[in-house]
Amino acid sequence: MRPIGVFDSGVGGLSVLRQIRAALPGEDLLYVADSGHAPYGTRPQRFIESRSIAIAEFLVAQGAKALVVACNTATAAAIAALRGKFDLPVVGMEPAVKPAVEATRSGVIGVLATGGTLESAKFASLVERFGSRSRVIVQPCPGLVEQVEKGDLAGIATRDLLERFLRPLLDQGADTVVLGCTHYPFVAPLLREMAPGVALIETGGAVSRQLARRLDEEALLAGRQGGGTERFWTSGDPRQLADLLPRLWGCAAPVERLP
């Protein structure tokens, strides 16, 4: 009956938390938004690794039985260190290159992600393993995480940024776009409006299924079909996260300051 610890550089991981809640309605969930240090996408790998370890230590001290790194950038930078340090299931995420390559009809896929993810060795190996049958166009999205952190999901500034990031992908014939950062599913409605014929692929569902499998293997599932609770912490402004929760999580909830 111990909780599952989930974290991200900020509010993006809430897109993953929603999928975890849908897949595992009986689990208690702890969520840490490291919004005081977002975005991670332009930070050095060592910084992201030490933040990830500090947050994981906090979640384990709260009793977490498993960790979900609900952040592509932190997974690329820190999952090896987390798995080396903590003796519990650690589930991470990576851009859905393989499903996109299987889905594309034009043979061109676009990957929207942070610079940190796109420049990582993990991403290079992903493209090498699965990307050879298609053309893979990568597009870093500086500024987009900040817009989502502010809750600007459809305003002019966000629209302008997306237009700039989408245009090169569309011009080169991409029919499938990978949302390779957990903040981006929150602008999926705007992306669909701007590129109606393009398939958007995200990873939250696959991650929650992987989490369920890992918990089952380790006999760690809570064993009830509903009634799971959530607790939220942020290293940023708790009021700001509390204001965003109804939109990004689906209902209001108390938010605590991360010690």
Provide the annotated active-site residues: 71, 181
Distance CA 185, CA 202 (A): 7
**Pair of tokens at residue 187:** 């602008």
Rounded to a whole number of angstroms, the minimum distance from the CB of residue 4 to ligand DGL is 18
Binding flag, residue 181, ligand DGL (CB under 6 A): yes
Q: Which amino acid is at 145?
A: V
Near ligand DGL by CB under 6 A: residue from 3, 5, 12, 99: 12
- The stretch among 4-12, 123-131, 213-221, 248-256 that binds ligand DGL (CB under 6 A) is 4-12
Binding flag, residue 145, ligand DGL (CB under 6 A): yes
Distance CA 259, CA 246 (A): 24
Nearest to 35 by CA among 62, 2, 13: 13
> What is the phi-psi region of residue 219: left when phi exceeds 0, alpha when psi lies from -120 to 50, beta otherwise?
left
Q: Which is nearer to ligand DGL, 31 or 40 (CB)?
A: 40
Please answer whether residues 179 and 202 qualify as being in contact, where contact means their C-beta atoms are separated by less than 8 angstroms. yes
Q: Which is nearer to ligand DGL, 53 or 220 (CB)?
A: 53
Distance CA 47, CA 50 (A): 5
Binding flag, residue 114, ligand DGL (CB under 6 A): yes
Rounded to a whole number of angstroms, the minimum distance from the CB of residue 23 to ligand DGL is 19
Binding site for ligand DGL (CB under 6 A): 8-10, 12, 38-41, 71-73, 114, 117, 145, 181-183
